Amino acid sequence: MRPKLEDVAKLANVSKTTVSRVLNNRGYLSQETIDRVYQAVKELNYQPNVVARQLYKKQTRIIGLLFPTIANPFFGELSAELEKRLYNEGFKVLIGNSMNDPKKEAHYLNQLLTKQVDGLIVGTHNRGIKEYNYSHLPVVAIDRNMNQDIPVIESDNYNGGVLATTHLINQGAKKIIHTNGPIELESPTKRRRLAYEDTIKAYGLTPITVTVDFNIPYIEKKKIFTQIFKDHPDLDAIFASNDVDAALIMQVALEQGLHVPKDLLLVGYDGTQIIQNILPGLTTVVQPLEQIAQTAITVLKQRLNNEPTDTEYILPVTLHKGITG
């Protein structure tokens, strides 16, 4: 049996209250009782029960993170960054991978609404999950529009799209294809697409956007990319909406006997550590990951304290020029 406050109290010959006071050092206490209590705590190897404390305090000091999947480097690195910072603020982190399955996401949400977490950071791609609406749980979203009540943290997606597209055009590309997620999803990511299309048109070219579901197996993605090369033998550049896709495209191009950048210019998006180090040659739009994480946490804490927040935080991106485009 796990010892509880009462057991410690008995052993130290004091009341529960006193033990509690000693452990949370509140109020006046004689050095003698303090010592006796700590002695008893050690003797019994007492560990306080957090759950009881959570119930009393009505807070868990746990923040939920809801992302498509941390197996993807962008969300893996983002989650690691969030965890690091939240840990320093005394929070723990509960992670849910929605796998872009609306059922799973709604289920997680329902679970987390039950006072299981104090707040939520969401970066999933589903829409129309009604649970978000009538919840009073503090929530911030990363790269996702939810509803008016929920602040969004995002990198400057539009500018990122402009940077990438302009860069490819400046390199002399004429037929540039863009890959992006399903258009139904009203996410800030769509601004990359919009920027791409606007820019392409501004230069008198024709936009071609190919839909690639974010959350399908790599092998499926590769099939889609292979098909792109079949359908557009004359294409000379691709602006991929994330680094992993860009890396996969690079691989597929290689398999197709295409040389990057000689036969194909390529620009990615994200600038994750891993891809930047494994494929430093990949030209890509770099998102400020640490800044995104920090902003999300700052804003969430404001929500936690019932302080007002903005509804949108747009953070600057930069273009990393490699050799692929």
Partner DNA sequence: TTGTACGCGTTATCAA
Partner DNA sequence: TTGATAACGCGTACAA
- Cα 289 to chain centroid distance, Å, stands at 9
Q: Is 259 helix (H, G, I), strand (E, B) or coil?
A: coil
Smallest distance, DNA to C-beta of residue 54, A? 8
Match 């206490």 to its residue by tokens.
29
Q: What is the distance between the alpha carbons of residues 237 and 205, in angstroms, rounded to a whole number?
A: 13
Q: What is the distance between the alpha carbons of residues 62 and 78, in angstroms, rounded to a whole number?
A: 17
Smallest distance, its own copies to C-beta of residue 177, A? 20
Positions touching its own copies (CB under 8 A) are 2, 45, 47-52, 54-55, 60, 62, 69-73, 76-77, 79-81, 83-84, 87, 92-97, 99, 104, 110-111, 113-116, 134, 136, 218-219, 222, 244, 247-248, 250-251, 273-275, 277-280
Smallest distance, its own copies to C-beta of residue 99, A? 7
What does 21 interact with, of DNA, its own copies, none (CB < 5 to 8 A by kind)?
Answer: DNA
Residue type (1 letter), 129:
I
Q: Give me the half-sphere count of Cα atoms (radius 13 Å) on the Cβ side of residue 123.
A: 27
- Alpha-helical (H) ranges within the chain are 5-12, 16-23, 31-44, 50-57, 73-88, 102-112, 157-170, 190-202, 218-231, 243-255, 273-278, 289-304
Instruction: Find, among 97, 96, 107, the residue nearest to 129 by Cα.
Output: 107
Q: What is the distance between the alpha carbons of residues 243 and 271, in angstroms, rounded to a whole number?
A: 7
- Counting contacts by CB under 7 A, is residue 175 touching DNA? no
Smallest distance, its own copies to C-beta of residue 65, A? 8
What does 80 interact with, of its own copies, DNA, none (CB < 5 to 8 A by kind)?
Answer: its own copies
Instruction: Find, among 175, 190, 115, the residue nearest to 145 by Cα.
Output: 190
- Counting contacts by CB under 7 A, is residue 5 touching DNA? yes
What does 219 interact with, of its own copies, DNA, none (CB < 5 to 8 A by kind)?
Answer: its own copies
Q: Restricting to residues 46-105, name those near DNA by CB under 7 A.
A: 46, 48-49, 52-53, 55-58
What does 142 interact with, of its own copies, DNA, none (CB < 5 to 8 A by kind)?
Answer: none
What does 164 interact with, of its own copies, DNA, none (CB < 5 to 8 A by kind)?
Answer: none
- Counting contacts by CB under 7 A, is residue 44 touching DNA? no
- The tokens of 7 are what? 């057991």
Which residues, other chains included, contact 252 with Cβ-Cβ below 8 Å and sequence gap of 6+? 222, 225, 226, 229
Match 């098909």 to its residue by tokens.
227
- The tokens of 283 are what? 């030209």
What does 95 interact with, of its own copies, DNA, none (CB < 5 to 8 A by kind)?
Answer: its own copies
Q: Restricting to residues 273-312, name those near DNA by CB under 7 A.
A: none
Instruction: Tell me the chain's radius of gyration from C-alpha atoms.
Output: 25
Q: Which is nearer to its own copies, 73 or 161 (CB)?
A: 73
Question: Which residues here bind DNA, judged by CB under 7 A?
Answer: 2, 4-6, 13-18, 20-21, 23-24, 26-30, 32-33, 46, 48-49, 52-53, 55-58
